[in-house]
Amino acid sequence: MSLLAEVWEAVRAIGQGMAAVNRRVGESAVTEFYPYQKPEIPPVSVQFLALIQNEDGSDRCVSCLACERACPSQVITIERKRNPAGKGFVLERFDLDFVNCMHCANCVEVCPVSAIVTVGDFEHAVYDVNMLKADKAFLDEIGRRAQVWYSPKFGVEIRKPDGSIEKAPPEMQPGGLAELLAGEEGA
């Protein structure tokens, strides 16, 4: 190959790359300015786990130990005792070692009463690793702060401004498609 041809080849190669890059000049930016602009987290996303309480402030959790058994990473510790009045159990301790949690949401999947749920609260970096060992008070606090959460039994739920808990509209629900399509046909 002559020198001229080589030079032409190089110019063509560079021109081709520049053209491909220049095609994108007019595109809108995708960068989110993180500390000031938070990402949109879908309700089903597993960023943190929380314990949800009923509207009257009582625990949803019935201490059935299903989540403790389902956890692959074995980070949930539940202590319970027999309810002296009536049947069932009373929750004494609910510890979630969030350091070793693998965010699989198996616990959420098996919970029969939707007490443990996934929330989109992801900012939990700490200086001391032991601060990530969550106890029940901590998980309750996360649950009280949560505005929207997901559990397979009840689907996506929303906390209204007055504190009442309500099921989210089908546009936000996994499997809401069936309802939406049925609605269209009916209309």
* Interface region with another protein, contact rule CB under 8 A, candidates 6-14, 55-63, 82-90, 136-144: 6-14
Cβ proximity to another protein, 64 vs 132, nearer residue: 132
Distance of CA 160 to the CA centre of its chain: 19
Q: How far is the CB of 85 from another protein (least distance, A)?
A: 32
Angstrom distance (rounded) from CA 118 to CA 109: 10
Angstrom distance (rounded) from CA 154 to CA 147: 15
Residue 72 interacts with another protein (CB under 8 A): yes or no: yes
Nearest to 83 by CA among 112, 108, 62: 62
Q: How far is the CB of 56 from another protein (least distance, A)?
A: 29
- The number of residues that bind another protein (CB under 8 A) is 63
The pairing of beta strand 155-159 with beta strand 165-167: antiparallel
Residue 170 interacts with another protein (CB under 8 A): yes or no: yes
Cβ proximity to another protein, 90 vs 132, nearer residue: 132
Tokens 């992801």 identify what position?
122
Residues ≥6 apart with Cβ < 8 Å to 149: 43, 50, 52, 117, 118, 119, 143, 156, 157
Answer for which of 26, 28, 36, 127 binds another protein (CB under 8 A) is 127
Q: How far is the CB of 144 from another protein (least distance, A)?
A: 20
Nearest to 154 by CA among 105, 119, 104, 115: 115
Residues that bind another protein (CB under 8 A): 9-10, 12-14, 16-17, 19-21, 23-24, 29-35, 38-39, 42, 44-47, 70-74, 98-106, 109, 118, 122-129, 132, 150, 152, 170-171, 173-178, 180-181
